[in-house]
Structure 1
Amino acid sequence: LASPLRCIATRGSCSSKLFVGGLNYDTNEPVLKNEFEKYGQVINVRVICDHMSGKSKGYGFVLFDSEEAVASALASMNNQLLEGRQIRVEYARPKGGLDQNKN
């Protein structure tokens, strides 16, 4: 049986994924990956862009291979400056977040 940690990292659950907000609109995925891979193995980086304009919406996600890397990156990078902007780093929430149960 696989360890719970391995299952979580393999599935790419929210405990191995960080939300990064407040990004400079010029910050791209290679820059984000370079900043976060200091804390552990980065599996995937995604900067969210507007579908019409193709421009960054100022936030993205970083997926790590371990909860330890996520915790280290969260503790080190939250409220830090990245390309002239103070970024907000927190655990990613499932799409829909807290509003899922409204009605």
Structure 2
Amino acid sequence: MNIYVSNLSFRVTDEDLNGFFTPYGEVKSAKVITDRETGRSRGFGFVEMADAAAGAKAVAELDNSMVDGRPIKAVEAQPKPPKDFNPFRNSGGYNKKKRF
């Protein structure tokens, strides 16, 4: 199960994130997302749990819990839409063709 964790303190590391979820079961990976240019945390990350039931329990217990003085949000991660996804395509929006 993949879990999206947001509202993280900028001081939280990958190891910290892993430690928050380890009591609930095996953590396959834990990654705090950082800015490419500055290397600074962007305040969210992803955790992959080996077992879906353990992941669901972790989400239930950690969602809205206080971590480093902030209430974190933990939810099951949703897959990214396809790269060519455009919600405005064929929606009657702007048309480049000139009408004379």
Q: TM-score range by the shorter chain?
A: 0.7 to 0.9
Counterpart Cα distance in 2 of 1:89 and 1:101 = 27
Deviation at 1:95, TM superposition (A): 1.9
Task: Tell me what 1:90 maps to.
Answer: 75
Q: Which residue is equivalent to 1:26? A: 11
Residue ranges of structure 1 left out of the alignment (5+ in a row):
1-15
Given candidates 25, 28, 39, the residue that maps to 1:40 is 25
Residue type of the partner of 2:8? Answer: L
Matched residue pairs, number?
86
Q: CA deviation at 1:63?
A: 0.1
Alpha-carbon distance in 2 for matches of 1:61, 1:52: 20
Please state if 1:55 is matched with 2:65. Answer: no
Q: 2:59 aligned with 1:74, yes or no?
A: yes
Q: TM-score, normalised by structure 2?
A: 0.81
Larger Cα Rg: Structure 1 or Structure 2? Answer: 2
Letter in 1 for 2:51: S
SS in 1 for 2:55: helix
Q: 1:3-14, aligned counterparts within 5 Å?
A: none
Select the structure that is richer in helix. Answer: 1
RMSD across aligned positions (CA):
1.4
Provide TM-score, normalisation by structure 1.
Answer: 0.79
- Given residue 80 of structure 2, which amino acid in structure 1 is its aligned partner? K
- CA offsets per residue over residues 10-66 of structure 1, 9 Å max, x none? xxxxxx000000000110011111111111100000100000000000000000001
The percentage of counterpart residues that share the same residue type is: 33
Map Cα deviations across residues 60-103 of structure 1 (whole Å, 9 max, x no partner). 00000011111110100000011111100001011239xx4612
